[in-house]
Each structure stands twice: as C-alpha cells, then as structure tokens.
Amino acid sequence: MRILTLNPGSSSLKAAVVHDGTAVGWAAWQSELSRAAVDAVRRWPRPDAVAVRFVHGGAQKTPVLVTDRVVANLDRLVPLAPIHQPFSLEVAGKVRELLPGVPVVACFDTAFHANLPAASSHYPLPREWTRQNRLRRYGFHGLSVQYAVRRTAELLRRPVDGLQLVCAHVGAGVSVTAVRGGRSVDTSMGFTPLEGPAMATRSGSVDPGLLLHVMKTAPMGPDELADALCLRSGLAGMSGTSGDLGEVRAAAADGNADAALAVEVYVHRLRREIGAAAMSLDRLDALVFTGGVAEYQPETVAEVARGLGMLGVRIGTLEQSDVDRTISAPGSPVPVLVVRAREDLELARDAEAVLADLGNEVHRARTADRSEVR
C-alpha cells in the first residue's frame, strides 16, 4: 500500500511517501500550506491514501477517515491548538479537493494518550467543570512517542508490553511521557500543548496565579495573553532570539546572559519533568530522547541526562548522528537512547489500519447481503 503522509507545522509542511512500511520519498516546504499541499500531491504518483497529522483529536481515540462531519468536529478544537490545528484542517481540505476518491485519514497526537489513568488526566478543579470529561489533560506528541516506543523495543530486543520507559520529545515543542506496556500513563502536556517544560516559543507550565496577576495589572485580554504564551515566551521570550536552541546557545557562548539563563531554565525544566514522569512507573527500563533537538543538539541531551544520576542514568560520549542509538555509558543501570522522530511511518501505519477496518466492514456488509439473499 502506498501512503502519502502530510505533517503540517505552523509555517511548513513535511511530506513522505511510505510504501508497505518503508519511506520511499520525502520532501519539505517552507511556504503557504495550501500551495505546499498541491506541490506534495503532484510530486508523486497517485497514492492509495493520504494520512494527515492533527495535533488535537479531542475525544477521538483512533485515526479516522476525514468526512465533513469530522472536519466540523476538528474545527471546534482550533482554540486548544491554535498553532497547528488550522493548518492541518487547511491541508486536509486541499487534499480532499485535489484527490477525489482517495481516502484521507486524520491521525491524532492526542490518541496515544486517550486512555490515561484518571489520576493523570484529571485536573483538580470544581467537579461541575470536569464532570463532562472535556476539561482534562489530553497530552500531545503521541505519534512521535508511539513510534519511539516501538523502535526502542526493537533496539533493546524486548517486547513493547514488557517495557516501562520515559520518552522525551524535544523539538520546538517539548513533552515528556511515561509509558508502561506500550500505553501512556502520564504526560507533561495537558489540556493544550502549553503545559510542561519550557519550549522554543511556548512558556510551558506557569503558575496560573501569575497569569491572573498579569491579566489584571497589564491589563491584558485572553487573546493577547495566548499570543504571549504561545509565540513570545519560552526560549524566545527569555533570550530575545527566535527561540531556536542553536541560536540561543550561540548567543550564550557570545556572553549573552539572558540566553545563558534561558538554556539553564530549559534544561532544568526538562530534567524536572523527566524525573516526575519516572515516578509514574514501577521501574525505569529506558530513557528515550526523540525530536529535532535530540537529533541535532547532542550537548543539550548530555546536559539533561547528566543531571539524572538519581534515576540510574549514566551518559556516554555523544556525537551528532542521524542513526538511532544507545548513548548511555557501558554499565549504566538505565539505557538511554536517541531515536529519530519518524511520524511519517506512524501516520502510514495508522492510515493502513483505518483502510483495513473499512475493508473488513465492506466484506461483512457483502457477506450479510448474500446471506439475506439465500
């Protein structure tokens, strides 16, 4: 089966063609997303299906075929993921227009966390607010974590259902997830992708009392506050840079004290979330880093890991590499791995599962029809 996978960002589109589980083509565009979607569709032969990544699926626990009703439901979630959700909707709409008759499948970052234990998903808020189970912790980066877990099991030669691990997705967005037996049991992002460690432009967790104080004293409305927390905080806000970690580190090396502090805060908050996630497990079988920073900023991974000795982590020599690898020192009680983010493979896997289910439904319907005729 040939699947075109589309992964929209806030200003970019990553595309790949996955044929029977193997990526056979890859491209990226830094351009207007509708135009990029057109280019992606025209770049390769007509696929059997298209898989589109959505950050937020709400209550949706599995990937789903995109219909008008699904689009309407996903559009209601835009306020909860304003940086990415509108662009995924735009890309899915353009693909449906360009490829009539080709199934388009929505795959959700939240789905991997859909069965979080109640203690992990529930906010300590008035029960009148939370009774409908909508104001809860959803979790994100699920497609990335899901792949990293499966790949880690392969590298360690252990079954997924026997592993307990912590996975840190470290890119422009940052999240930490505790995984037991292939299932998410705790994660740092919550109702929106703002919760958790400091990120490139997002604040991460901030005392809500501080935000109430700012809204009253600035004064500042919710839209302006959302803009500040999503786009003008994190590494960018602390350092006065774009928020790219390489740029921040370069500024720190040049003597920029704000940039140096930004790196310290970033590392500290990430390390703290890893420690917290480990407490949701019975034991720690592995610590896994994935995402762009994990792949291209080995010094950051080393800095984070060196402060985790209490968890049994012993780090070895790190070099930049595009190969999945173990980076812990020989004899480390806890293996530490860097796994490339391969959301394209996970998107294709989800799309194939949806098409298989549709095929089974058609087969059951035809069998039932034949039985009625007899």
Are 104 and 96 within 8 A, CB to CB? yes
Q: Rounded to an integer, what is the distance from CA 236 to the centroid of its chain?
A: 20
What lies within 8 Å, CB to CB, of 286 at 6+ separation is 152, 156, 163, 165, 166, 334, 335, 336, 337
The secondary structure element, H or E, covering residue 167 is: strand 164-170
Q: What is the chain's Cα-based Rg?
A: 21
DSSP secondary structure string, 289-302?
Answer: EESHHHHH-HHHHH
How far apart, in Å, do the first and last CA atoms of the chain sit? 35
Catalytic (active site) residue 109: yes
| 196 Rama class: left (phi>0) / alpha (psi -120 to 50) / beta | left
75, 109, 186, 285: which is the annotated catalytic residue?
109
At 290, the amino acid letter reads T
Rounded CA separation 169/342 (Å): 12
Helices (H), the chain: 33-43, 68-75, 85-98, 118-121, 127-130, 142-156, 208-217, 222-231, 234-239, 245-253, 257-278, 292-296, 298-305, 343-373
17: phi then psi, degrees, rounded to nearest 5: -105, 125
Are 52 and 8 within 8 A, CB to CB? yes
Cα–Cα nearest to 173, from 250, 91, 273:
273
303: phi then psi, degrees, rounded to nearest 5: -65, -40
Active-site positions? 109
